[in-house]
Amino acid sequence: MELSQAIFDKLLAHLDADRERAGEKYEMIRRKLVRFFEWRGSVFPEDHADEVINRVAKKIDEEEEIRDLKNYFYGVARLFFLETLKEREKEAAALEHLPQPLSDTEERDESAPRLECLEMCLRNLTAENRELIIEYYRKEKGAKIENRKTLAKRLGMPLNALRIRTHRIRARVEECAIDCLKKSPGR
């Protein structure tokens, strides 16, 4: 079911009176829905998230009384997830026919476009962010922890704030790399 502009506008208005803030809230809810389906093991988390948004928008359009919109989104997502359990069995069966995971040798061959995309995405960052993320992920095991503590001290921020900051940069890089891989030939 496609959402009409009018219904989508109603959904946004329900999220916030200010359209810009409503847009941000919409993005956050969609991100949560996608991750909910991903963490519950769905093969098509984005499609399912969109279906939930459509259903909630439809309920809003029908003027159903909704007390807590965030909880309502979650409730509809959970119900939809239950509905798709059967579909998932079919999906799992279909996936069994897909090629088996790559062996180590093949994995190395496949890693070239990934590295290229990642390097391109890292280059798109500001020098400061690029240096930060490279430094954060550089060391292994015990040295990694010490390295991060030193980095946090150097930047004058608590370790947890550094974790969150690098996570945000990493999320941007990850989205960029996924997008780049979709566009790269042979994919």
Partner 1 sequence: MKQETRNHKLIVQYLVGGLSEDEKTRLEQQYFGDDDFFEQLLVVEGELIDAYVRAELSGREREQFEAHILASPVRRQRVEIARALVECATQSSVGVLPATEKQEAVTWWQSLLDSLGAKNKAILLPLAAAVLVIVAGASLFLVETVRLRNQVERIQADRAELLRREEELQRQLAEQGTHNEQLASELQRERSQRELLEQELAKPPGSALSSITFILTPDLVRGAVEPKRLIIPRGAEIVRMQIDLDADDYTGYRAVLETVDGIRIWSNGSVKAQPHISRKVVTLRLPASLFTKGDYILTLSGVSAGGSLEDVGDYYFNVVKK
Give the x/- contact pattern for partner 1 in 33-72, rule: CB under 8 A: --xx-xx-xxx-x------------------xxxxx-xxx
Q: Does 119 bind partner 1 (CB under 8 A)?
A: yes
- Is the CB of 4 or the CB of 124 nearer to partner 1? 124
Evaluate whether 12 touches 23 at the Cβ level (below 8 Å): yes
Going 97 to 103 to 107 to 110, the CA torsion angle's sign is: negative
Contacts of 152 by beta carbon, 8 Å cutoff, 6+ apart = 158, 159, 161, 162
Handedness of CA 140, 145, 148, 149 (dihedral sign): negative
C-beta of residue 82 within 8 angstroms of C-beta of residue 37: no
Q: How far is the CB of 5 from partner 1 (least distance, A)?
A: 26
If one asks whether residue 78 binds partner 1 (CB under 8 A), the answer comes out as yes
Question: Can you give the binding site for partner 1, defined by CB under 8 A?
Answer: 28, 31-32, 35-36, 38-39, 41-43, 45, 64-68, 70-76, 78-79, 82-83, 85-86, 101, 111, 114-115, 118-119, 122-123, 127, 130-131, 133-141, 156, 163-164, 167, 170-171, 173-174, 177-178, 181
